[in-house]
């Protein structure tokens, strides 16, 4: 019986169709989706922290309003994605427990500190830029609830990317000090941003993910697309990307770039980056501080249910 279900599943995936929550699916497919979607959700939620750090110090009311909206959007993406993961039969509590006990990962990028105001712009430009590059193909991934969530998320990320670029353009038209802040931020965020795409394809262990139509484009191909798109944007902005080996390769039709420091990448992924301890501590604290809200909501729901029965 399973073989028939499997054949139906394979045919649907091969034809570019969507698998829905109540459809039969291989256990390994369910597992890798829960892993990826929940880690994506955790990244959105932890990703609120580096920029959240600047809300109270934004230089104008306009920039503060933009930043507030952006950080709220990230919170919304996280909740969307937790809900998508829950359709696969895992509970919100289990997902949170996995994050808080460090069993689940979140993106390496959010373990770097935001040291100056230009960091907010560079996160929008490079980090949201990389996120969009990675998420556009996910709009067509084989799992319907994840694919549909990605459509709205990508639209919002596109606003995030533009606000970052706009912020940087403004600073680059400003004083020499402001220009230096932008270059300093670019120097610190460039390499971590291209690490976001994950290990080289040969070291990417979740190869089934491509076969099942979850990842439509590989880590290295997405990274290359991102580098190719970003070089021209850096020129317009008037900043230098901190890679002396970055140059156009006419034969390949792509930019070549220098070697990634994988030791740094795995160090950060495995909990030893500059901010890992603080980020997680903040999330755990927020969860504990919010306990009374969860209790109140549950008590309210119980009361409502009892009233309906009476």
**If binding is defined by CB under 6 A, does position 141 make contact with ligand FAQ?**
no
287-306: contacts with ligand FAQ (CB under 6 A): none
SS (H, E, C) the chain: CHHHHHHHHHHHHHCCCCECCCCCCCHHHHHHHHHHHHHHHHHHHHCHHHHHCCHHHCCCHHHHHHHHHHHHHHHHHHHHHHHHHHCCCCCHHHHHHHHHCCCCCCCHHHHCCCCCHHHHHHHHHHHHHHHHHHHCHHHHCCEHHHHHHHHHHHHHHHHHHHHHHHHHHHHHCCCHHHHHHHHHHHHHHHHHHHHCCCCCHHHCCCCHHHHCCCCCCCHHHHHHHHHHHHHHHHHHHCCCCCCCCCEEECCCCEEECCCCCHHHHHHHHHHHCCCHHHHHHHHHHHHHHCHHHHHHHHHHHHHHHHHHHC
Which residues share a beta bridge with 256? 247
Q: Which of 87, 187, 204, 267 binds ligand FAQ (CB under 6 A)?
A: 204
Establish if 218 lies at the interface with ligand FAQ (CB under 6 A). no
Judged by CB under 6 A, the stretch of 11-19, 89-97, 202-210, 298-306 that binds ligand FAQ is 202-210
| 74 vs 243 by CB, closer to ligand FAQ | 74
Find the binder of ligand FAQ among 34, 96, 99, 107 (CB under 6 A): 107
Minimum distance of ligand FAQ from residue 128's CB (angstroms): 5
Provide the 8-state DSSP code for 85.
H
Which stretch, 165-173, 203-211, 235-243, 246-254, contacts ligand FAQ (CB under 6 A)? Answer: 203-211
Reported as type and span, the H/E element at residue 249 is strand 247-249
Choices 16-24, 37-45, 168-176, 291-299 (CB under 6 A): range interacting with ligand FAQ: 37-45
Beta-bridge partner residues of 248: 255
Report if residue 111 touches ligand FAQ, rule: CB under 6 A.
Answer: no
Binding mask 233-272 for ligand FAQ (x = CB under 6 A): ------------------------------------x---
Give the nearest distance from C-beta 227 to ligand FAQ in angstroms: 15
Residue 274 three-state SS = coil
From 41-49, 182-190, 255-263, 271-279, give the range in contact with ligand FAQ by CB under 6 A.
41-49
- Give residues 68-97 in contact with ligand FAQ (rule: CB under 6 A): 74
- Which span sits near ligand FAQ by CB under 6 A: 33-41, 89-97, 112-120, 256-264? 33-41
Q: Is 219 in the site for ligand FAQ (CB under 6 A)?
A: yes
Output the residue with the shortest Cβ distance to ligand FAQ: 47
Tell me which residues touch ligand FAQ (CB under 6 A): 35-36, 39-40, 43-44, 47, 74, 105, 107-108, 123, 127-128, 131, 134, 195-199, 204-206, 209, 215, 219, 269
């Amino acid at each position: 019986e399973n073989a028939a279900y499997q054949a139906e599943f394979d045919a649907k995936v091969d034809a570019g169709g969507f698998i829905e929550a109540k459809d039969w699916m291989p256990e390994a497919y369910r597992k890798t989706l829960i892993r990826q979607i929940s880690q994506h959700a955790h990244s959105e939620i932890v990703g609120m922290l580096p920029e959240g750090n600047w809300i109270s110090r934004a230089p104008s009311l306009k920039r503060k309003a933009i930043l507030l909206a952006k950080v709220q959007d990230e919170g919304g993406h996280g909740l969307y994605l937790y809900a998508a993961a829950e359709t696969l039969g895992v509970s919100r509590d289990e997902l949170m427990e996995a994050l808080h006990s460090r069993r689940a990962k979140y993106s390496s990028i959010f373990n770097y500190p935001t040291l100056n105001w230009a960091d907010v712009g560079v996160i929008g430009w490079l980090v949201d830029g990389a996120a969009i590059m990675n998420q556009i193909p996910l709009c067509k991934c084989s799992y319907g609830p994840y694919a549909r969530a990605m459509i709205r998320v990508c639209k919002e990320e596109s606003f995030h990317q533009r606000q970052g670029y706009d912020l940087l353009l403004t600073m680059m038209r400003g004083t020499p000090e402001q220009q230096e802040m932008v270059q300093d931020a670019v120097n610190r965020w460039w390499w971590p941003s291209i690490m976001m795409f994950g290990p080289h394809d040969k070291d990417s262990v979740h190869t089934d993910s491509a076969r099942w139509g979850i990842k439509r484009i590989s880590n290295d191909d997405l990274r290359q697309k991102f580098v190719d798109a970003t070089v021209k944007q850096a020129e317009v902005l008037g900043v230098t990307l901190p890679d002396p080996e970055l140059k156009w390769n006419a034969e390949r039709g792509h930019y070549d770039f220098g070697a990634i420091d994988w030791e740094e990448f795995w160090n950060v992924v495995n909990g030893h980056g500059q901010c890992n301890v603080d980020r997680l501590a903040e999330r755990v604290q927020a969860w504990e501080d919010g306990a009374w809200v969860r209790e109140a909501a549950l008590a309210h729901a119980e009361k409502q249910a009892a009233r309906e029965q009476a």
